Amino acid sequence: MQKLAKLYKDFCGLIRICGPLFALRWMFYVTSSFFAILKSGNLQLPDSAMGDGPFKVTLKQYKCHFKIKGPRCVSGIREMYVRDVYLGNGWLNVKANDVVLDLGANMGNFTNLALAIDPTVRVIAIEPSISLNTIFTKSVDLNIGHLNRTTLIRAILGDSTKRIEDDDNYAGADRLTEKQLLERANITRIDFIKCDIEGGEFKFLNRGSKLLAMTRALACEVHVDAGDVSRFLADVEACGLTVGPTRYAEDGSAIFLARRSA
Asked if 74 and 137 sit in the same domain, the reply is no
Asked if 192 and 89 sit in the same domain, the reply is yes
Nearest by Cα to 114 from 59, 72, 73: 59
Asked if 129 and 76 sit in the same domain, the reply is no
Asked if 169 and 52 sit in the same domain, the reply is no
Q: Which amino acid type is present at position 116?
A: A
Q: How many CB atoms lie within 10 A of CB 241?
A: 22
State the average pLDDT over residues 49-68.
97
φ, ψ of residue 200 to 5 degrees: the values are -65, -15
Is the predicted pLDDT of residue 159 greater than 80, yes or no? no
Spatial distance between the Cα atoms of 233 and 229, rounded to a whole number of angstroms: 6
φ, ψ of residue 18 to 5 degrees: the values are -120, -5
Is the predicted pLDDT of residue 164 greater than 90, yes or no? no
User: What average pLDDT does the chain have?
Assistant: 93
Domain CATH code at residue 168: 3.40.50.150
Residues 6+ apart with CB under 8 A from 154: 127, 128, 130, 133, 173, 174
Instruction: Give residue 261's pLDDT.
Output: 84
Indicate the pLDDT class of residue 156, thresholds 50, 70 and 90. Answer: very high
Asked if 129 and 209 sit in the same domain, the reply is yes
Domain boundary among 83, 116, 133: 83
Domain of 39, in residue numbers:
1-83
Instruction: Give residue 37's pLDDT.
Output: 80
Asked if 115 and 221 sit in the same domain, the reply is yes
Asked if 152 and 253 sit in the same domain, the reply is yes
Residues 220 and 258 sit within 8 Å (Cβ to Cβ): yes
Q: How far is CA 111 from the centre of its chain?
A: 8
How many domains are there within the chain? 2
Instruction: Give residue 43's pLDDT.
Output: 86
Asked if 158 and 56 sit in the same domain, the reply is no
Enter the DSSP assignment of 161.
P
Asked if 69 and 109 sit in the same domain, the reply is no
Asked if 94 and 196 sit in the same domain, the reply is yes
Using alpha carbons, list the distances in angstroms from residue 184 to 96, 175, 219: 24, 12, 22
